[in-house]
Structure 1
Amino acid sequence: MKQAIYYAQLTKKANEYLSCLYDIAQTLVSFDDYDDAKMYLVKISQYKITDHVIKEKAMQDLINVQRILTGLEDRYEKEDDLQKKMSLAEKCADTYSCLDRNERSKYYYLKQLKHAQELNLNEDQMATIYSSLGSIYQDLKEWQLSIDYFRREMSCRIGLGIQADIE
């Protein structure tokens, strides 16, 4: 990593240097090394001459990494109120989804679904959860499950009920 940064600095092109830092941060996130990833994301956010696209992505990732580091998952695990627990599960899922940690995101969307079913939410609320699951399964290239959840979403949205299936 240090060598990559060194060569990126030699180019004297800010975009290449920042892109290198961003790639390193993404690699660290993929290995759950959030503390070091945060360090690189902070470097990008503090860089004076910067590509706004890279800076915006880095800032969003920094927010998500900070959520993880401040114990978002711990708050979910400790929460007793089912409504709040469901909301925290969604926040965990969305956070991991933004970081392209799709397996971890799926885990929390499924937790959200479980809590929603326990709370007996209305069809509109269930449709949103089914849509999220359909999208995450699509990202994971699990096509049949993606289709199944998108069908459930459509069933809810057109008023056929949660258990209905549309062809």
Structure 2
Amino acid sequence: MSKTFETLPGTLDAVWQRLARGVADRRAPARHPVLATAGQNGGAAARVVVLRAADRANARIEVHTDTASGKIAEVTADPACALVVWDPRAQVQIRLTATASILSGADAAGRWARIPEGARTNYGGAPAPGTPLADPAEHRPGATFDRFAVLDLRIDAIETLHLGRDRHRRARFERADGFAGRWIAP
């Protein structure tokens, strides 16, 4: 059995290793976390996103989106959000609570420049995301820089739940104490 999740420093290292792998490896479990926001009209909203950057030194991660998507309106109304990663091989859940900022226009130009031409069609198109269609063929993809945005997520807390063979271990790390970490009941 791996001893990775038996210490707080090992657990925190494992989180950041998984996030970094999620950015670099399309097959890594952290590549496609679930982003949860306060939904419009008082509900909750959750969707799978693609992890685009992970910066341990600044405790930040980022995902990209279309400015016309519901995520933008939700984060504008309430920037509190959460991301969840499940790594089935390691039997660990990683939950990140964060505060989102939206970068667009000149602030996002450098990231847009690094997106391959074919992938840019995820940001633009008509009609806008979420618009009802009678037929999927009614949507026309299009690459539009003005519709590209980065959700810059400042991590406020990290919580892990490792389903170990000998025992489950749950830990919480908070920005307020420099991510020192503490064990909590699973």
TM-score normalised by the chain length of structure 2? 0.25
Instruction: Indicate the structure (1 or 2) with the bigger Cα radius of gyration.
Output: 1
Structure ranking higher on relative contact order (CA contacts 8 Å, 6+ apart) = 2
- More helix by proportion, 1 or 2? 1
- More strand by proportion, 1 or 2? 2
TM-score normalised by the chain length of structure 1? 0.27
